[in-house]
Structure 1
């Protein structure tokens, strides 16, 4: 009898046994809407294949190139955008990278980067004078984290996304050890026969954290869901947009999206939350490919929320973008555009 009970508990851990009905707050519109026109940033060299992420701090700008054949990361001087160095060499060697997911500044000349395939976070120092990048330290992530696709640095370690499904995010020490997991997938649908890892995959998120206000915010790659964890006040808020939660069907144990492509990046500033939104249906994308067309990649919207999750402003863009960085002091949004040969953009807000 005990053995049977133990088996049932395991099964309930693998499927969504919680039939509790969840209803999340919804936003339907933005009180202020504005069209933004991009200024193309001219570079002194052609480097990119798929510029996915961008971040700028003081005199250095960094771009993550997701599919570059040689290096994942490229550093430029700012504001003149002169190439400093490319680093994070692609390869199987001890100090080479198998994948690149995110780059985050630690200081004006030091950055953290994530390699999901190697389960490793490394810190690099950037020298404008010597045109060099040096790997200063490497942190192996706890095997319990499985595969980490996004992270943020905190004073005590890191925050990472959780793709096992039981929780929403992890707290990790500076040594890479898992110390705490928290949150839940805020689905309003009761899934009877879907494993939690498959559900978590469909609910993949992009995250950002601001240590000044303690806000950890995340948005879904599919559908239109914003989650806000106030780590100082220990609160959690969830907001659904008009497109709702991620929609998908299960084929041979894996999920196939059937709704829309949602968000692709998020930034938490001291005052607001900025998120890139696509709002393109997979049906529309599939039909374009069937016609022999090559539909653009990226989103033509930037949504702005306050730190409570209330919609503030909607920007409509003249380019489709993927990644952003925001400087509220200068009123500047930097963005990456994977559709054009001049892929770095600047918007004035």
Structure 2
């Protein structure tokens, strides 16, 4: 009887909170299905990477972003055997070199990199007879309108979407020449004080990783802090904000900047034709600092992959046997290729379903 009353009490709290939320918001507290996935290490003998942050697969090729690469940032491999092919994105300050690479994406057979420090997108094409990638196109953003781009997606052949870190909106739209077109959306925070007084800091705290699937029109933003997924269907104007148990990103304001607080949230997201997959961390910053002080370093990455349908309803929670930062989901072959920055052999594969 005691357990029944406790459950009813918690249910009343949950439904009461839900009724106070705007109509475009949804709370999730659990997943109807949970599984544990075990990894297989992919041996790499030819390339050393300091911080393999992202992996993307396109056809029979896979590209890995080494976020802290000493000489080059990106490495191309044959997929699925990960035979090394070439490296690109040379680090440096000359016109054709890169100060940084925040992300790399495979779009229509080309590989695109984003340099936040230069405010530039660069497209590389693979030349098969030379087993190398050539710089084919560079797009410099209008710096008066775009404030430090940290991620991007291609909406179509002529338009890109970039998270807006000014706090005025959620996304900036730019054309193939880098010219600003428009802004859309708002930061879906219920923190009215921050929305009114500290929008730039709020935008920093709401930094999100984004992905877009042109086949179904679904755009998703997953917050780096807290536990929030924003889902937009650009084909039918559907919009939903999904909040997990950890809620909105937490931060402290210092000198106009957002100092992260609360938890590390998501670190990568992928929209497939059928579902939304996201890597989730969930560690508090206090836990991260305590582990660092005790062991000299903290384990980096998330141990969970959350799966939602295209409307944001939870489907499955995968618990991994290691921590990952980036991933690529192959639904047809039921495999997940991921990066583990904590190990010398950083490329791993999971099988699911």
Matched ranges for 1:114-125 at <5 A: 114-125=114-125
Output the CA distance in 2 between the equivalents of 1:235 and 1:308: 8
Aligned match of 1:84: 85
Output the CA distance in 2 between the equivalents of 1:175 and 1:249: 37
SS at match of 1:191: helix
Aligned match of 1:184: 186
Aligned match of 2:292: 289
Deviation track 1:172-228 (CA, whole Å, cap 9, x = no partner) reads 111111112111111122225742111100110000000000110011000000000
Deviation track 1:275-300 (CA, whole Å, cap 9, x = no partner) reads 00000000111122232442200000
After superposing on structure 2, the runs of 4+ consecutive aligned residues of structure 1 that deviate more than 4 Å are: none
Deviation track 1:131-174 (CA, whole Å, cap 9, x = no partner) reads 21100011111221121000011213111111011111122111
1:260 to 258, 263, 268: 263
Matched ranges for 1:300-319 at <5 A: 300-319=303-322
Aligned match of 2:173: 171
Q: How far off is 1:303 after superposition?
A: 0.2
1:22–1:187 contact (8 Å) kept in structure 2: no
Listed as ranges, the gaps of 5+ residues in structure 1 are 1-20
SS at match of 1:61: strand
Q: Aligned pair in 2 of structure 1 residues 246, 64: CA closer, same or farther (>3 Å)?
A: same
Aligned match of 1:97: 98
SS at match of 1:261: coil
**Are 1:332 and 2:335 matched, yes or no?**
yes
Deviation track 1:237-259 (CA, whole Å, cap 9, x = no partner) reads 10100000011111222222220
Deviation track 1:71-127 (CA, whole Å, cap 9, x = no partner) reads 01000111221111111100000100011011111233x211111111111110113
**Are 1:61 and 2:62 matched, yes or no?**
yes
Q: Aligned pair in 2 of structure 1 residues 22, 187: CA closer, same or farther (>3 Å)?
A: farther
Output the CA distance in 2 between the equivalents of 1:167 and 1:253: 18
Aligned match of 1:49: 50
SS at match of 2:265: strand
Q: How far off is 1:335 after superposition?
A: 0.5
Q: State the superposition RMSD in angstroms.
A: 1.4
2:154–2:160 contact (8 Å) kept in structure 1: yes
1:44–1:81 contact (8 Å) kept in structure 2: no
Aligned match of 2:111: 111
1:326–1:334 contact (8 Å) kept in structure 2: yes
Q: How far off is 1:22 after superposition?
A: 5.8
2:302–2:323 contact (8 Å) kept in structure 1: yes
Listed as ranges, the gaps of 5+ residues in structure 2 are 1-19
Aligned match of 1:280: 283
Q: Aligned pair in 2 of structure 1 residues 141, 46: CA closer, same or farther (>3 Å)?
A: same
SS at match of 1:289: helix
Q: Aligned pair in 2 of structure 1 residues 270, 32: CA closer, same or farther (>3 Å)?
A: same
Aligned match of 1:3: none
1:221–1:261 contact (8 Å) kept in structure 2: yes
Aligned match of 1:6: none
Q: TM-score, normalised by structure 2?
A: 0.90
- With 202-211 and 252-261 compared, the bigger mean Cα shift is at 252-261
Deviation track 1:249-274 (CA, whole Å, cap 9, x = no partner) reads 11222222220000000000001000
Aligned match of 2:11: none
- With 296-305 and 98-107 compared, the bigger mean Cα shift is at 98-107
2:205 to 195, 202, 206: 202
Output the CA distance in 1 between the equivalents of 2:236 and 2:264: 32
1:85–1:131 contact (8 Å) kept in structure 2: yes
Q: How far off is 1:44 after superposition?
A: 2.8
- With 153-162 and 196-205 compared, the bigger mean Cα shift is at 153-162
Deviation track 1:27-52 (CA, whole Å, cap 9, x = no partner) reads 00000000000111112313200000
- With 69-78 and 288-297 compared, the bigger mean Cα shift is at 288-297
Matched ranges for 1:113-262 at <5 A: 113-143=113-143, 144-155=145-156, 156-191=158-193, 194-262=197-265
Q: Aligned pair in 2 of structure 1 residues 262, 299: CA closer, same or farther (>3 Å)?
A: same
